[in-house]
Amino acid sequence: MELLETHNVARGYGDVIATLFTEGEGSQTTDLAILHLSSPILSIVSPVFRAMLDPSRGFLESKVNTENMKEIRILTPSVKTALLAMNILHYQEIPEVLEVQDLYDLATFVDYYQMKDVFQRLTRQSGALLRPARDAWSHTSKRLWIGMVFRSKSIVRDCVQQSFQRMTKKNDSYIVGSTPLHIAMDIYSELIWKEREKYVQKFISEVNSKYEVFRTKFEEKYHIKPTEPSSSKSGQYSPYESSDESSYYDSDSLDVVMKLSPSKCDLVQLGVLNALRLQIGSPEHKLDEVSFNELFSTFITTTRQAEADRNRDCRNSLKNLPWTTHISCDTVEYLYNLAVEIKKTNVHTELIASFNIKDLN
């Protein structure tokens, strides 16, 4: 049997022999290293360790050997993680700066062994502990977990807004960028997702409402039904696929079209509304897999009109024609402004309040 590396963390007053191990597939375990630790410290900082060190509790992970030394087994992501945690708790030297992965694993270890209160106090005393090396804070999902565990309001505030803007959902997993959010954060991830869906559905409802009103008025005004857009053209729709405006309507209505042809303004409004409906309703377009930022950037691009199509003086352009008003001159502009407004939404205050995290400072 291969001898495991040993670390004397307690420096002479250790009465606990802790075997570090990790779990693999199928609950298989691998022993990693041995630490000499102090039972009074472990009992104070963690109710889990306190129970493990109590012989009357009968934990399989603990026993007393022939030399009256307590033996326990500690689950850890890595030797580095457990050694870092124990060095902090036993007031030994720790690195001046930590990689974000080190802090992420430390947060997981602290959460598993229920040491949040202790580490919250320690991180308050030493702000440097939560200061990672280089530009590691670009990892939003890991930063959010670190902020949650160590109850750092500044980190949580920064990461909640970024998560809201960049989160996607695939196979019931919440992802920010390319990194899944920690599984222990599901309740918070769901709150962020619920907030995102509130704004997405608000825009979708407005699009559907505007379309139904516009479609009804279109039929009443021109006595014809606009042709539904086809999703076969790469999910795109344009009101200008033909220079002959009658190509948008049934051939049986051509005589009506020749007498009362829809105006360019109405065709622009209708074309954009149909394009939006394809983007939000096309079966192959999975909105959950598109981030909030990307989604509303697309909506803004779709509803942004060229100057030539923004007919500001409709009455003048129509004064010599048999009808005097368009159905709507500002439907698309309204949706454009709404998309811009929603994309700027800042939700960190509401979300942090909904998290209801005790002692977030």
pLDDT digits (tens, 9 = 90+) for 226-274: 556 555 444 444 443 433 444 444 444 444 443 456 777 788 888 899 9
Asked, for residue 257, whether it belongs to a domain, the answer is yes
CA distance 164 to 166: 6
Checking if the pLDDT of 345 tops 80, the result is yes
CB neighbours of 97 closer than 8 A, spacing ≥ 6? 128, 131, 132, 133
Range of the domain at 304: 197-343
Asked, for residue 204, whether it belongs to a domain, the answer is yes
CA distance 226 to 200: 27
pLDDT of residue 109: 97
**Proportion of the chain above pLDDT 70, given as a percent:** 74
**Which pLDDT band holds residue 285 (cuts at 50, 70, 90)?**
low
| Higher per-residue confidence, 261 vs 128 | 261
Number of domains in the chain: 1
Asked, for residue 211, whether it belongs to a domain, the answer is yes
pLDDT of residue 96: 75
3-state secondary structure of 296: helix
**Which pLDDT band holds residue 343 (cuts at 50, 70, 90)?**
very high
CA distance 204 to 298: 13
Residue 113 in tokens:
């062994």
CA distance 20 to 74: 5
Asked, for residue 300, whether it belongs to a domain, the answer is yes
Comparing CA positions, the residue from 319, 221, 320 lying closest to residue 266 is 221
pLDDT of residue 264: 75
3-state secondary structure of 70: strand
Asked, for residue 56, whether it belongs to a domain, the answer is no
| Higher per-residue confidence, 296 vs 69 | 296
Reported pTM: 0.78
CA torsion 148-154-155-157 (nearest 10°) is: 80
| Model pLDDT for residues 59-70, shown as the tens digit of each residue | 666 676 757 788
Q: Which stretch of DSSP H or E encloses residue 193?
A: helix 186-222
| Higher per-residue confidence, 249 vs 12 | 12
CA distance 81 to 90: 14
CA distance 313 to 329: 9
Asked, for residue 224, whether it belongs to a domain, the answer is yes
Comparing CA positions, the residue from 138, 83, 132 lying closest to residue 103 is 132
Comparing CA positions, the residue from 333, 360, 335, 338 lying closest to residue 349 is 360
| Proportion of the chain in helix, strand, coil states, percent, rounded to 5 | 55, 10, 35
Mean pLDDT value across residues 168-195? 92
pLDDT of residue 269: 85
**Which pLDDT band holds residue 75 (cuts at 50, 70, 90)?**
very high
pLDDT of residue 305: 76
Comparing CA positions, the residue from 263, 271, 266 lying closest to residue 322 is 263
pLDDT of residue 250: 47
